[in-house]
Structure 1
Amino acid sequence: MEKIHFSLLCLFLCFLLKDVKSQRENGTIIVELNVFSGRPNPVARIIKRPIQRLLASNNQWRGSNLNEGLGYRGFTIYDMDNATETKVVAGGSDISIENQLLEWSNIPRDVKLHCHERIRGAYVSKMNNRNQTNRCEQVSSETTYEPLKWNSNRFVRRWNNCYNYGNDIITNTFAQPGRANNYRIQTMDGPSVQFGAELDGLIRIEAPTSCVPEPNGNLVALVIWPGNDYHFFRLDENGLFSHKPGRTDARNIDNSGQLISDPRTADRGPYTVFQCFMETEPDVVYIQ
């Protein structure tokens, strides 16, 4: 009888701990966009889990302080369950984190446009300053830019997308990150797409400087159109990036018709969030 009571007690404690963990993960976080001077700043209440996943997906924002001056200055993140866990993401400190937080903020279009311009401008300026002292060595992948392989056959062009192209694997299934491993992207944000790609065998690699990181295998870059879509660029053996937008032709230029030496600074249209670089190997990665 005592064993039964003990088992029931253990079961109750397990359910209790699980419930506490669930409450913590599903708690509320307040995100304040520091942009106004006379009016109160815009704030948004967001479930904790996606914020935690976003902040854990990159680390360049850590240790930053809010910018001074007028206009966009960065974000302050308040944990409603732990007052000591207030975090600051300064303007220009981490382009991928900032752009995603911006998409979660309910603000007028002109304010959002101003913030996007300041984020991109600060990032480009930081990269230019670094490049004056740190000259980047050209890195490359093993993939060859051969657009005819993807463009000449109408069936191949139609049924293979940027994810197929980035991994250099033709499946004729319009492959999706994680689908080969029974994962479906629920939220169209960077961490969710990255997780699906990691299930398929891709590996995230950090880019601690403004230089493109050197991969052990082939290199791809994941970018996000917040709430709507994702896109992959791939690095080829010539040291430049190429990509295949959806059912259209593979190409080696960005939206402005420029060759792509770094997708972080390329004209990506609405794909404003740069999530990360990843390594991929056709012999290791499995996609569907």
Structure 2
Amino acid sequence: MLHIELDVFSGRPNPYWKLTAREERELIDRLKASPAALRPVSDVESRLGYRGMVVHADRAGQERLTRAGLPPVFRLRESTGLNVSDVTERWLLHTPGAQQILTPEVSGESARTIGSPSALQDSGSSGLDAALAACATWSSTWADLNTFWNGARRPSNNCYNFASSLATNTFAQPGRGTGQIFTSLTIGAVKDATFRDGYTAGCNDDRFVDYVCIWPGTDYHFYHRIADFWGSLRRWAHKPGSTPATNVDNSGQPITDPITCNRGPYTWDGAPYIYARVNPRATIN
């Protein structure tokens, strides 16, 4: 049996669906005809929104893939750029299993991204207020964070782990560690869940700054304020889902301000700065 993972979320686990026997045969035939579409699972961009599809197989499925000369698990994408395997990915996106699992928002965003680059957006600064500028806004430098997050911890920690500077290896969800996860995908609900985990709405000397935004009704995403290599400049970084942590946005530009950077489908914010302790006292899980 083959399962398709749509690599699309940042905070929540990605959606999966299984293929029918007929769909499995068709997918294998398509991939044998176009092996350039196959990439290692780790060969992925750190960007928000659609990042390709990952094919997973149980033991019987792995045997069928092996007999066809295909790897047991792989990513469908031409490269880590935006030239994706258009025809096969569009076909998978419209299989009945996908249509049952994916919301119109997720399916539409993925279809828009497949085969064409996202529109570019300016990554200029909107200006930070005095309270934000005065806060202790990093727990480490970018060089340290990059080394810490982009090795073995990368697949099992998400944007909330990264923003909290706490690797739980559980794909942490706001509020889960303190017994009440967020109840809806709104800024208010996600922020309230982080407050239960020990975040606050105000800044003081022992806190760093995070920024939360929403893909309306679909997912959430966190940005984390850091220092550069020398500790002299305040910048922003993020970790889209299980992808590597990065300090660039969906346009490949350095993130000087999460309000104005290219956030892909995560379009909604609303006074989203929140503050976490340098040494978290509550359990993030």
- Whichever structure has more helix as a proportion of its residues is 1
Q: Which has the larger radius of gyration?
A: 1
| TM-score of the aligned structures, taking structure 2 as reference length | 0.48
Highest relative contact order (Cα 8 Å, sep 6+), 1 or 2? Answer: 2
